[in-house]
A and B are shown apart, each in its own frame.
Chain A
Amino acid sequence: MPGLIGKKIGMTSIYSVEGKATPCTIIEAGPCVVTQVKSEEKDGYNAVQLAYGEKSDKNTPKALQGHFKKAKTTPKQKVAEFDGFDDANLGDVFSADLFAEGEFVDVQGTSKGKGFQGVVKRHGFGGVGQSTHGQHNRLRAPGSIGAASYPARVFKGMRMAGQTGNAKVTQPNLQVVKVLADKNLILVKGSIPGAKGSFVKILK
Protein backbone atom coordinates (compact mmCIF):
# COMPACT_ATOMS: atom_id res chain seq x y z
CA MET A 1 0.00 0.00 0.00
CA PRO A 2 1.35 3.45 -0.82
CA GLY A 3 1.35 5.94 2.00
CA LEU A 4 3.27 8.59 3.87
CA ILE A 5 5.02 9.10 7.15
CA GLY A 6 3.36 11.72 9.31
CA LYS A 7 3.15 13.22 12.73
CA LYS A 8 0.12 13.31 15.02
CA ILE A 9 -0.70 16.93 15.82
CA GLY A 10 -3.83 16.59 17.94
CA MET A 11 -7.58 16.44 17.83
CA THR A 12 -10.39 18.88 17.18
CA SER A 13 -13.91 18.76 15.80
CA ILE A 14 -15.30 20.26 12.65
CA TYR A 15 -18.90 21.00 11.77
CA SER A 16 -20.54 19.82 8.60
CA VAL A 17 -23.00 21.91 6.60
CA GLU A 18 -25.86 20.07 8.32
CA GLY A 19 -24.42 21.09 11.66
CA LYS A 20 -23.06 17.72 12.68
CA ALA A 21 -19.85 17.80 14.70
CA THR A 22 -17.20 15.31 13.56
CA PRO A 23 -14.28 14.46 15.84
CA CYS A 24 -11.08 14.65 13.79
CA THR A 25 -7.39 14.00 14.24
CA ILE A 26 -4.97 16.38 12.59
CA ILE A 27 -1.96 14.65 11.03
CA GLU A 28 0.98 16.34 9.39
CA ALA A 29 1.44 14.11 6.34
CA GLY A 30 4.76 14.53 4.64
CA PRO A 31 6.53 15.97 2.78
CA CYS A 32 8.37 12.69 2.36
CA VAL A 33 11.46 12.21 0.21
CA VAL A 34 12.28 8.96 -1.58
CA THR A 35 15.67 7.95 -0.16
CA GLN A 36 15.90 4.47 -1.67
CA VAL A 37 14.13 2.47 -4.36
CA LYS A 38 14.23 -1.28 -3.77
CA SER A 39 13.76 -3.55 -6.76
CA GLU A 40 13.02 -7.21 -7.37
CA GLU A 41 16.38 -7.83 -9.05
CA LYS A 42 18.55 -6.16 -6.47
CA ASP A 43 16.73 -6.57 -3.16
CA GLY A 44 14.29 -9.40 -3.84
CA TYR A 45 11.18 -7.24 -3.48
CA ASN A 46 9.78 -3.94 -4.67
CA ALA A 47 9.51 -1.09 -2.18
CA VAL A 48 10.22 2.57 -1.72
CA GLN A 49 11.94 4.04 1.29
CA LEU A 50 10.53 7.38 2.38
CA ALA A 51 12.06 9.82 4.85
CA TYR A 52 10.31 12.51 6.87
CA GLY A 53 11.15 15.24 9.39
CA GLU A 54 14.16 17.54 9.55
CA LYS A 55 17.20 16.67 11.63
CA SER A 56 20.57 18.35 12.03
CA ASP A 57 23.80 17.01 10.52
CA LYS A 58 25.31 16.96 14.00
CA ASN A 59 22.84 14.36 15.22
CA THR A 60 23.14 12.11 12.18
CA PRO A 61 25.75 9.36 11.87
CA LYS A 62 28.12 9.76 8.94
CA ALA A 63 26.77 6.61 7.30
CA LEU A 64 23.24 7.97 7.30
CA GLN A 65 24.42 11.38 6.11
CA GLY A 66 25.83 9.65 3.05
CA HIS A 67 22.56 7.76 2.56
CA PHE A 68 20.57 11.00 2.50
CA LYS A 69 23.18 12.70 0.35
CA LYS A 70 22.62 10.04 -2.31
CA ALA A 71 19.01 11.19 -2.58
CA LYS A 72 20.21 14.82 -2.64
CA THR A 73 18.34 15.71 0.53
CA THR A 74 19.00 16.81 4.12
CA PRO A 75 19.10 14.31 7.02
CA LYS A 76 15.67 13.14 8.13
CA GLN A 77 14.27 11.93 11.44
CA LYS A 78 12.30 8.94 10.31
CA VAL A 79 12.58 6.46 7.44
CA ALA A 80 10.05 3.78 6.52
CA GLU A 81 9.37 1.45 3.62
CA PHE A 82 6.22 1.44 1.55
CA ASP A 83 5.14 -0.68 -1.38
CA GLY A 84 2.72 0.16 -4.14
CA PHE A 85 4.55 3.23 -5.39
CA ASP A 86 5.04 2.66 -9.11
CA ASP A 87 7.81 4.47 -10.96
CA ALA A 88 9.10 6.51 -8.01
CA ASN A 89 12.62 7.81 -8.41
CA LEU A 90 15.31 8.67 -5.91
CA GLY A 91 14.74 12.18 -4.56
CA ASP A 92 11.04 12.40 -5.41
CA VAL A 93 8.90 14.25 -2.89
CA PHE A 94 5.42 13.09 -1.88
CA SER A 95 3.16 15.33 0.16
CA ALA A 96 -0.34 15.40 1.62
CA ASP A 97 -2.01 15.73 -1.80
CA LEU A 98 -1.42 11.99 -2.18
CA PHE A 99 -4.69 11.64 -0.27
CA ALA A 100 -8.09 12.72 -1.47
CA GLU A 101 -10.98 13.91 0.66
CA GLY A 102 -13.46 11.14 1.35
CA GLU A 103 -11.14 8.19 0.85
CA PHE A 104 -10.32 5.72 3.60
CA VAL A 105 -6.86 5.25 5.07
CA ASP A 106 -5.23 3.08 7.71
CA VAL A 107 -3.09 4.80 10.31
CA GLN A 108 -0.32 2.89 12.02
CA GLY A 109 1.49 4.13 15.10
CA THR A 110 2.85 3.26 18.51
CA SER A 111 0.22 3.37 21.22
CA LYS A 112 0.76 5.27 24.44
CA GLY A 113 2.68 3.18 26.98
CA LYS A 114 0.77 2.32 30.12
CA GLY A 115 3.53 0.37 31.90
CA PHE A 116 3.09 -2.97 33.64
CA GLN A 117 -0.64 -3.38 34.17
CA GLY A 118 -2.87 -5.99 35.76
CA VAL A 119 -5.47 -8.07 33.98
CA VAL A 120 -8.37 -5.73 34.73
CA LYS A 121 -6.85 -2.86 32.74
CA ARG A 122 -4.93 -4.97 30.25
CA HIS A 123 -7.57 -7.53 29.24
CA GLY A 124 -10.76 -6.12 30.68
CA PHE A 125 -11.24 -8.82 33.32
CA GLY A 126 -14.10 -8.11 35.68
CA GLY A 127 -12.26 -8.39 38.97
CA VAL A 128 -14.10 -9.84 41.92
CA GLY A 129 -16.89 -7.32 42.21
CA GLN A 130 -17.28 -7.83 45.91
CA SER A 131 -15.24 -6.16 48.57
CA THR A 132 -16.49 -8.20 51.52
CA HIS A 133 -16.97 -11.96 52.06
CA GLY A 134 -13.28 -12.65 52.58
CA GLN A 135 -11.88 -10.80 49.56
CA HIS A 136 -9.14 -9.06 51.54
CA ASN A 137 -6.64 -8.30 48.70
CA ARG A 138 -8.05 -10.26 45.74
CA LEU A 139 -10.24 -7.55 44.22
CA ARG A 140 -8.37 -7.21 40.92
CA ALA A 141 -6.75 -10.66 40.84
CA PRO A 142 -6.97 -12.80 37.67
CA GLY A 143 -8.38 -15.92 39.42
CA SER A 144 -7.50 -19.40 38.24
CA ILE A 145 -5.11 -19.76 35.32
CA GLY A 146 -5.80 -23.43 34.62
CA ALA A 147 -6.54 -26.91 35.92
CA ALA A 148 -4.29 -29.09 38.12
CA SER A 149 -2.43 -32.36 37.35
CA TYR A 150 -3.86 -32.48 33.86
CA PRO A 151 -2.57 -30.55 31.88
CA ALA A 152 -0.09 -29.76 34.66
CA ARG A 153 0.99 -26.60 32.85
CA VAL A 154 -0.36 -23.18 31.93
CA PHE A 155 -1.53 -22.90 28.34
CA LYS A 156 0.34 -20.60 26.01
CA GLY A 157 -1.33 -17.28 25.41
CA MET A 158 -3.04 -17.24 28.81
CA ARG A 159 -4.02 -13.64 29.46
CA MET A 160 -2.02 -12.28 32.37
CA ALA A 161 -0.58 -9.03 33.67
CA GLY A 162 2.24 -7.37 31.72
CA GLN A 163 3.42 -4.41 29.67
CA THR A 164 0.45 -2.56 28.26
CA GLY A 165 0.52 -0.13 25.38
CA ASN A 166 3.70 1.06 23.64
CA ALA A 167 2.99 -1.43 20.86
CA LYS A 168 2.39 -1.10 17.14
CA VAL A 169 -1.30 -0.47 16.53
CA THR A 170 -3.08 -0.09 13.19
CA GLN A 171 -6.34 1.81 13.12
CA PRO A 172 -8.04 0.77 9.88
CA ASN A 173 -10.56 2.56 7.67
CA LEU A 174 -10.41 6.14 8.81
CA GLN A 175 -12.10 8.59 6.50
CA VAL A 176 -10.07 11.53 5.27
CA VAL A 177 -12.29 14.49 6.07
CA LYS A 178 -10.07 17.29 4.85
CA VAL A 179 -6.80 17.73 2.99
CA LEU A 180 -4.93 21.00 3.45
CA ALA A 181 -2.27 20.48 0.82
CA ASP A 182 -0.56 23.84 1.27
CA LYS A 183 0.17 23.10 4.93
CA ASN A 184 0.71 19.35 4.41
CA LEU A 185 -2.03 18.55 6.89
CA ILE A 186 -4.82 16.00 6.69
CA LEU A 187 -7.78 15.51 8.98
CA VAL A 188 -9.08 11.99 9.54
CA LYS A 189 -12.29 11.07 11.28
CA GLY A 190 -11.81 9.59 14.73
CA SER A 191 -8.76 8.93 16.83
CA ILE A 192 -5.40 7.39 15.99
CA PRO A 193 -2.86 5.56 18.18
CA GLY A 194 -0.06 7.36 19.97
CA ALA A 195 0.70 10.59 21.73
CA LYS A 196 0.75 14.05 20.17
CA GLY A 197 3.94 14.53 18.20
CA SER A 198 4.51 10.83 17.60
CA PHE A 199 5.27 9.45 14.16
CA VAL A 200 2.61 7.53 12.28
CA LYS A 201 2.36 5.72 8.96
CA ILE A 202 -0.65 6.67 6.88
CA LEU A 203 -1.51 3.87 4.46
CA LYS A 204 -3.80 4.33 1.51
Chain B
Amino acid sequence: MDTIIRDIQNELTETKEFPKFAAGSTVTIHYKIKEGNKERTQLFQGVVLQRKGTGATETFTVRKISSNVGVERIIPISSPFIEKIEVNKTGDVRRARIFYFRERRGKAARIREKRSFAK
Protein backbone atom coordinates (compact mmCIF):
# COMPACT_ATOMS: atom_id res chain seq x y z
CA MET B 1 0.00 0.00 0.00
CA ASP B 2 2.85 2.34 0.80
CA THR B 3 4.24 1.76 -2.66
CA ILE B 4 0.96 2.97 -4.15
CA ILE B 5 1.18 6.18 -2.10
CA ARG B 6 4.78 6.67 -3.18
CA ASP B 7 3.92 6.10 -6.84
CA ILE B 8 1.12 8.65 -6.68
CA GLN B 9 3.36 11.20 -5.00
CA ASN B 10 5.99 10.71 -7.66
CA GLU B 11 3.38 11.10 -10.34
CA LEU B 12 1.52 14.12 -9.01
CA THR B 13 4.20 16.24 -7.40
CA GLU B 14 7.18 17.36 -9.37
CA THR B 15 10.31 16.76 -7.40
CA LYS B 16 12.94 19.42 -7.64
CA GLU B 17 16.59 18.76 -7.09
CA PHE B 18 17.86 20.52 -3.99
CA PRO B 19 21.34 20.31 -2.47
CA LYS B 20 21.65 18.08 0.59
CA PHE B 21 20.92 19.79 3.89
CA ALA B 22 19.96 18.66 7.36
CA ALA B 23 19.34 20.02 10.84
CA GLY B 24 22.04 22.53 11.71
CA SER B 25 22.58 23.70 8.14
CA THR B 26 22.34 27.38 7.34
CA VAL B 27 20.27 27.79 4.19
CA THR B 28 18.91 30.58 2.05
CA ILE B 29 15.52 29.93 0.54
CA HIS B 30 14.45 31.80 -2.56
CA TYR B 31 10.71 31.98 -2.10
CA LYS B 32 8.31 33.25 -4.73
CA ILE B 33 5.70 35.66 -3.44
CA LYS B 34 2.62 36.81 -5.30
CA GLU B 35 1.47 40.37 -4.69
CA GLY B 36 -1.62 41.09 -6.71
CA ASN B 37 -0.51 39.83 -10.08
CA LYS B 38 3.15 40.64 -9.61
CA GLU B 39 5.57 37.97 -8.58
CA ARG B 40 8.82 38.55 -6.76
CA THR B 41 11.38 36.47 -4.93
CA GLN B 42 12.02 36.80 -1.24
CA LEU B 43 15.04 35.45 0.56
CA PHE B 44 14.83 33.75 3.92
CA GLN B 45 18.11 32.81 5.52
CA GLY B 46 18.32 30.80 8.72
CA VAL B 47 19.23 27.61 10.49
CA VAL B 48 17.35 24.39 9.72
CA LEU B 49 15.88 22.98 12.94
CA GLN B 50 14.40 19.80 11.53
CA ARG B 51 13.24 17.92 8.47
CA LYS B 52 9.96 16.10 8.95
CA GLY B 53 7.90 13.65 6.94
CA THR B 54 8.58 11.85 3.69
CA GLY B 55 7.74 12.23 0.04
CA ALA B 56 5.32 14.93 -1.01
CA THR B 57 4.45 15.85 2.57
CA GLU B 58 8.01 16.46 3.74
CA THR B 59 8.58 19.81 5.42
CA PHE B 60 11.52 21.58 7.02
CA THR B 61 11.71 24.28 9.67
CA VAL B 62 14.01 27.27 9.29
CA ARG B 63 14.72 29.68 12.15
CA LYS B 64 16.28 33.09 12.04
CA ILE B 65 16.51 36.08 14.34
CA SER B 66 14.87 39.09 12.75
CA SER B 67 15.25 42.38 14.65
CA ASN B 68 15.73 40.52 17.92
CA VAL B 69 12.68 38.34 17.46
CA GLY B 70 12.99 34.68 16.60
CA VAL B 71 11.12 33.80 13.39
CA GLU B 72 10.45 30.27 12.24
CA ARG B 73 9.03 29.12 8.96
CA ILE B 74 7.81 25.65 8.17
CA ILE B 75 8.18 25.08 4.44
CA PRO B 76 6.89 22.08 2.46
CA ILE B 77 9.80 20.83 0.41
CA SER B 78 7.58 20.13 -2.62
CA SER B 79 6.06 23.60 -2.52
CA PRO B 80 6.01 25.10 -6.02
CA PHE B 81 6.88 28.45 -4.47
CA ILE B 82 10.44 27.44 -3.67
CA GLU B 83 12.67 28.64 -6.43
CA LYS B 84 16.02 27.65 -5.04
CA ILE B 85 17.67 26.51 -1.85
CA GLU B 86 21.25 27.53 -1.18
CA VAL B 87 23.22 25.73 1.50
CA ASN B 88 25.53 28.28 3.10
CA LYS B 89 26.93 26.12 5.89
CA THR B 90 26.61 22.54 7.02
CA GLY B 91 26.49 22.41 10.81
CA ASP B 92 28.12 19.85 13.03
CA VAL B 93 25.19 18.76 15.23
CA ARG B 94 24.46 15.45 16.90
CA ARG B 95 20.70 15.54 16.76
CA ALA B 96 18.19 15.28 13.89
CA ARG B 97 16.00 17.94 15.56
CA ILE B 98 17.86 20.76 17.24
CA PHE B 99 15.08 22.34 19.28
CA TYR B 100 17.61 23.28 21.97
CA PHE B 101 18.77 25.91 19.51
CA ARG B 102 15.65 27.99 20.31
CA GLU B 103 16.91 28.71 23.82
CA ARG B 104 20.27 29.93 22.57
CA ARG B 105 20.91 33.63 22.02
CA GLY B 106 23.89 35.64 20.85
CA LYS B 107 27.25 33.92 21.03
CA ALA B 108 25.72 30.70 22.29
CA ALA B 109 23.59 30.46 19.18
CA ARG B 110 26.45 29.35 17.02
CA ILE B 111 26.80 26.00 15.36
CA ARG B 112 30.20 24.54 14.54
CA GLU B 113 30.70 23.97 10.87
CA LYS B 114 31.12 20.44 9.67
CA ARG B 115 34.49 19.96 8.10
CA SER B 116 34.64 17.69 5.14
CA PHE B 117 38.01 16.37 4.11
CA ALA B 118 36.88 15.06 0.78
CA LYS B 119 39.03 16.20 -2.11
Contacts and interface: CB of A to CB of B under 8 A. Distances in A.
Interface string B2-38: 1011001101110000000000000000000000000
Contact of B8 (A19, A21, A26): A26
B87 interface: no
A14 B12 contact: yes
B99 interface: no
B1 interface: yes
Nearest to B78: A15
A9 B76 contact: no
A31 to B, nearest CB: 16
Interface string A171-189: 0000000101001010100
A21 B74 CA distance: 13
Contacts of A17: 80
Given A12-B9, A12-B56, A14-B13, A26 B4 contact: yes
B61 interface: no
B44 interface: no
Contacts, number: 44
A15 B5 contact: no
A21 B79 CA distance: 8
B1 A10 contact: yes
B9 A15 contact: no
B5 A10 contact: yes
B76 A21 contact: yes
A187 B79 contact: no
Contacts of A26: 4-5, 8
A57 B76 CA distance: 47
B52 to A, nearest CB: 13
B4 A185 contact: yes
B15 to A, nearest CB: 11
Contact of A10 (B2, B76, B81): B2
Given A13-B57, A19-B79, A197 B1 contact: yes
B8 A187 contact: yes
Given A185-B4, A187-B8, A13 B56 contact: yes
A185 B8 contact: yes
A168 interface: no
B84 to A, nearest CB: 15
Nearest to A13: B57
A171 B103 CA distance: 43
Interface of B: 1-2, 4-5, 8-9, 11-13, 55-57, 76, 78-81
Given A180-B11, A197-B1, 10 more contacts: A10-B4, A11-B5, A12-B9, A15-B79, A17-B80, A21-B76, A26-B4, A26-B5, A183-B4, A187-B8
30 contacts: A9-B1, A9-B5, A10-B1, A10-B2, A10-B5, A11-B5, A12-B8, A12-B9, A12-B55, A12-B57, A13-B56, A13-B57, A13-B76, A14-B56, A15-B13, A15-B56, A15-B79, A15-B80, A19-B79, A19-B80, A21-B79, A26-B4, A26-B5, A178-B12, A180-B8, A180-B11, A185-B8, A187-B8, A196-B1, A197-B1
